[in-house]
Amino acid sequence: MKKQKIVVGSRDSKLAVMQTELIMHEINRNNPEIELELVTLKTTGDLILDQSLDKIGGKGLFVKELDLALLDGRIDIAVHSLKDMPMEENKELPIVALPKRGDARDVLVLPKGCEFIEYEDMNLYYQNIGSSSARRKLQIQKLLPSAGTSGVRGNVITRLDKLDRGEYTSLILAAAGLQRVGLPHRISHYFSVEEMIPAAGQGILSIQARRDLNVDFLENIKDANTTYASLAERSFVRTLDGGCSSPIAAYAAVEGEELKLVGLYYNEKTTEHRVATVVDHKERAERVGEQLALRLRGEIG
């Protein structure tokens, strides 16, 4: 009998491909009867590297080309980092599966050969920290008031090359990305989620498909707790209308039946920011995110 074939789409960066291959491995492990084909595409967000994302259209630039490929049938499913996806879900191209979350933390990366310097002795490396994230910049200034930051674009490998050439004294990156490309040894320090609240969806891979595709073959790779956490985090950011330029952060963790959500809200008019935490039942995840967002927005205008 002829195997069912599923064409899987990915951005063509090394990290995106390796993440997609992780998902493909899990699909094959649970569905050996399915034949998988990988198709990679360059996205607008990958091609325009000399401007910040908020200047060129935001997170949607990392998914637009893959969305078009889904709609016209060139691919059947697409794999994304959830934090790169717009908060408003496309009803024609829903997120159909979220596997178990990877490491959600942010990390500090030093130039090659300097990885093992004690964290307390790294003042030299805070002079020019590479990060284009307003969320990271806001929180690093709170942790290290004397630190300087500069914008940096490009995939993980490109950013590390810029660091090692001396363009930056250090970088702040997502732990999961470095781990997935086999470079955990480049990490010099892990920030706790309390020190630096992650971006909504950080560490989570998402699978997107056309609405009419039968996705029963993904059932065994879905993770319920990751789904609850993502619902809370994305609801928080969506309620605040937070785009990629807004220093908004949200991180949820599920233990048993309880969901704990911590959120950061920044008011661009007053430049005030506030952090708050709420604990509720996991089944109320989406509502919890919305309520925490409304509470924080009400507290600082």
Q: What pLDDT was estimated at residue 124?
A: 82
Predicted pLDDT of residue 102: 97
CB crowding 122-131: b at 16 or more within 10 Å, else e: beebbebbbb
Among residues 46, 76, 84, 280, the one annotated as catalytic is 84
Kindly report, residue by residue over 6-32, the tens digit of the pLDDT.
Answer: 999 999 989 999 999 999 999 999 999
| Structure-token pair, residue 76 | 């059947």
Helix H segments across 4-147?
14-30, 44-47, 53-56, 64-71, 134-143
- Checking DSSP bridges between strand 170-174 and strand 129-130, what pairing results, if any? parallel
Specify the pLDDT at position 43.
73
pLDDT surpassing 70 at residue 73:
yes
Helix (H) or strand (E) holding 253: strand 249-255
Closest to 101 in 3D by CA, of 216, 289, 228:
228
Residue spans per domain, the chain: 1-99+205-222, 106-190, 223-301
Question: pTM for this structure?
Answer: 0.90
Q: Is 106-190 in the same CATH topology as 1-99+205-222?
A: yes
CATH superfamily label, 223-301: Porphobilinogen deaminase, C-terminal domain (3.30.160.40)
- Judge contact between 125 and 140, C-beta under 8 A: no
The reported pLDDT for the residue numbered 38 is 98
- Give the closest residue to 293 by CA, choosing from 253, 234, 243: 234
**Each residue of 193-212: pLDDT tens digit?**
999 999 999 999 999 999 99
Mapping DSSP to helix (H, G, I), strand (E, B) and coil, where does residue 207 land?
strand
Beta strand segments in 139-186, E: 149-150, 170-174
The pLDDT value recorded for residue 244 is 55
The CATH number of the structural domain formed by 1-99+205-222 is: 3.40.190.10
* Dist. CA 284–CA 287, nearest whole Å: 5
What size, in residues, is the chain? 301
Tell me, which fold does domain 106-190 have in CATH?
Answer: D-Maltodextrin-Binding Protein; domain 2 (3.40.190)
Q: Say if residue 61's pLDDT is above 70.
A: no
205-209 and 95-97 strand pairing: antiparallel
Helix (H, G, I), strand (E, B) or coil at 78: strand
Active site residue 84: yes
Instruction: Dump pLDDT digits (tens) for 183-195.
Output: 999 999 999 999 9
Nearest-5° angle of CA 184, CA 187, CA 191?
120
State the alpha helices, DSSP H only, in 181-299: 224-239, 285-299
pLDDT classification of 261: cutoffs 50, 70, 90? very high
Say whether pLDDT at 114 is over 80: yes
pLDDT higher than 90, residue 5: yes
What pLDDT, on a 0 to 100 scale, did the predictor assign at position 53?
47
Average pLDDT over residues 159-180: 96
Per DSSP (E only), the strands in 58-212 are 77-81, 95-97, 106-109, 129-130, 149-150, 170-174, 187-190, 205-209
